[in-house]
Structure 1
Amino acid sequence: MKKLFFMHIPKCGGTSIKSGLRKSMKGVGGVFSLDNHASKRAYDINPENESLFGFRNKLAMYALGSNHYQLVMGHTIFSDRLYEAFKDECEFFTIVRDPVKRFISHYTFNKAKKSGHFKNEMAFDDFLTSKEAEDVGSFYLRYFAGIERRLDLNAAKENSHKFSVIGDLNDVVGFANNVSERYGIDLQVGVENVNPSLSTSSKEITKEQMERVYELCQKDIEIYNYIKSNFHG
C-alpha cells in the first residue's frame, strides 16, 4: 500500500474526514495529523523568513519521509517539490465544496470563535472589503497552485490532476466510497466541527453582499467548476 496524503482545505468537511481516516487506518499504519494550532505557534516563535504554509510543508515532507507514517494529513498546500519527491510512493487526495458556501462557512466559523488564531471580529460588511476576505475567497487557488507557483490559476487546474481522488462535500458518501475502493481502507465519515449558529447565513445575506462574495470567489469558482467537469477520481 502506498502512503497517503490528505490535503485538508478549511471548511470542506475535513475535520470529520480526518476523524474517519484515523479510525480506518487502525491496524494499517501510523497517522501524522499536522496540528493547526501547534504549527502556527511554532511558526510565530521562529518564522525564519518563510511563510506559515512553507513551514507546514516542511513538516509534511518530514512525515512523508518517515517510516512511521502511512497517512499524512493537514492544512498544508500543494507543493511541486513535495509531489515530485514522493509521487512514486504516495497518493494525494482531498475534498472541496461550493466556494461561496465555503467562504460563508469560513467567515461564520471564525466569527463565532471565542478566542484563538484567525478569530474574526469584523462585521460581514467590513469583512467583505478586507484583505482577509480576498484571501478567504481564493483558498482553492492557493491550495492547488501551491508554494512554488503561488496564485497561478493554470497551475491550480494542472495540479488537480495529480490527486487520485477529489471529492465534493455534496457527496461525502461517494467520496468515502472512492477512497475506500482506491486505497483499500474502510472510510466512514461522521459529522464534526459544525459551525455554531450565527446571524450570518446565506438566507440573510443581501443581494449586494452576495454579489461581492461571488466576486471574491471568482477564481475559486472557476477551479471548482474545472474539477467537477474534468476530474474523474
Structure 2
Amino acid sequence: MVIVPTSMTDRPVHFFVHVPKCAGRSIELHLEKYLGERFLYLRRKRGLKRHLSSEIYRLPQRFDPAGTDAVSGHALGRSMASHFKGREIRESVLLRDPLSMLVSFYNFRMSRFTVEGWPHVSFERFYQSRHVNPMSTFLLVNYLELSWTRLARMPRAEKFERLSERLADFWFVGDYRQCDSLIGRISVEFGIPDQAPRANVLEKKLLTVDTVSAAMRDRILDECALDQAIYDAWAGRGYDRMDDRPPAPVLRDRPGLIVAHEAKRQIENARITAMRKRLGRLPRPEEEA
C-alpha cells in the first residue's frame, strides 16, 4: 500500500524524462488524462538562448508549482527542479537500444509522410538526418542541458560517466518495454487507474530490425556505441539503486564524428524539407478516386 503525503511540500514531484521513441507518449497521455492540471507537459524551451537565460521554459499561465505532481515532455531539463524547491524530485526514464530506436523512429516518421502524401526516404537518408547517438545526445543536451560545443569536445568515456552519474540518482531507469510497469507504479501512488493504452503504435511497418542491411547495422553499432553502452549498463536497473555504478566500457573515440555527422545532418534535413515544400501535400489515394 502506498501512502501519499498530504502536505503540498511533502509530496514528491515526478519528472518523467521522455526520450523519443521510448514509449513515453503513453505515459504522458495517461497522466494528462487523469491528473489534469496536476500534470505539466513541457512543449519547448526558449530557443538558442536557453543556456543563457534563467527563464528557460515557456510555462503556461496556469502553472502552479505547489499543485503540480508530475512533469514530462521532450523539453524537460533538470533546471526545471528550481521551480520545486523543498520537494523531492523523482526522476524516471525509459531507455532503448539504438538500432530498434532508429527503426521505430523511421517507421513513425514515414507514417507521417504517408499521411501528408510525401514519398518515403530510405533508412540510410533518415539515419543521416538524425543526431549521432540520439539517446545519449538527447539526455545530455535536453535533460542535462549541456551546450553543443561542450558535447562535441567531450570524449565518449566522459559522456558515459556523466550520464551514469545522473542515472544513478534516478528513481527509476528501465527498458522501454517496462512502460506498463512504470505506469502501474506511479498510478498507484497518484490514486489513478493503473493501466493505459499504448500510444503511437503502428499497424504497418516499412522496416524491422531484422530487415536493416548488414552495412547499416555495422554503421549504427560503430557510430552509436555510446547509446548501446548506456542501454546495456542501465536498462535493467529498475527501481533499486545500484551499490556500485556499472564499469565504463571501452569506448573508442571518433574524432570529428559529431561535427561531420552534424554537417551532413543539416544538409540532409534541408533536402528533405525542400522536397516537402516542393511537393506540398499530395492527393491521398482516396482523394484521387
TM-score with structure 2 length normalisation?
Answer: 0.60
Match of 1:2 among 9, 12, 35: 12
Match of 1:164 in 2: 171
Alignment partners' CA distance in 2, 1:120 and 1:218: 31
8 A contact 1:9–1:95 mirrored in 2? yes
- The amino acid across from 2:146 in the alignment is E
Alignment partners' CA distance in 2, 1:169 and 1:206: 24
Deviations 1:121-152 (A, max 9, x none): 63222334x2x33x163323431562137643
Alignment partners' CA distance in 2, 1:214 and 1:137: 10
Match of 1:137 in 2: 133
- 1:15 and 2:28 aligned: no
What's the offset of the Cα at 1:77? 4.9
Match of 1:32 in 2: 40
- The 1:84–1:115 alpha-carbon spacing in structure 2 relative to 1, beyond 3 Å, is farther
What's the offset of the Cα at 1:222? 0.9
Match of 1:94 in 2: 93
Aligned residues with identical type, % of pairs: 20
- The amino acid across from 2:29 in the alignment is S
Match of 1:105 in 2: 104
8 A contact 2:183–2:196 mirrored in 1? yes
Alignment partners' CA distance in 1, 2:15 and 2:59: 9
8 A contact 2:113–2:120 mirrored in 1? no
Which one has a bigger Cα radius of gyration?
A: 2
Alignment partners' CA distance in 2, 1:94 and 1:167: 7
**SS of the counterpart of 2:71?**
strand
What's the offset of the Cα at 1:158? 1.0
Aligned pair count?
215
Match of 2:215 in 1: 208
Match of 1:195 in 2: 202
- The 1:57–1:136 alpha-carbon spacing in structure 2 relative to 1, beyond 3 Å, is farther
- The 1:100–1:120 alpha-carbon spacing in structure 2 relative to 1, beyond 3 Å, is farther
- The 1:61–1:143 alpha-carbon spacing in structure 2 relative to 1, beyond 3 Å, is farther
What's the offset of the Cα at 1:11? 0.6
Where does structure 1 lack aligned partners over 5 or more consecutive residues?
none
- The 1:8–1:66 alpha-carbon spacing in structure 2 relative to 1, beyond 3 Å, is same
- The 1:55–1:88 alpha-carbon spacing in structure 2 relative to 1, beyond 3 Å, is closer
- Superposition RMSD on alpha carbons, in Å? 3.7
**SS of the counterpart of 1:226?**
helix
Match of 2:69 in 1: 70
Alignment partners' CA distance in 2, 1:216 and 1:153: 14
Alignment partners' CA distance in 1, 2:38 and 2:193: 15
Alignment partners' CA distance in 1, 2:224 and 2:42: 27
Alignment partners' CA distance in 2, 1:162 and 1:63: 30
Alignment partners' CA distance in 2, 1:218 and 1:156: 14
- The amino acid across from 2:218 in the alignment is E
Where does structure 2 lack aligned partners over 5 or more consecutive residues?
1-10, 152-158, 241-289
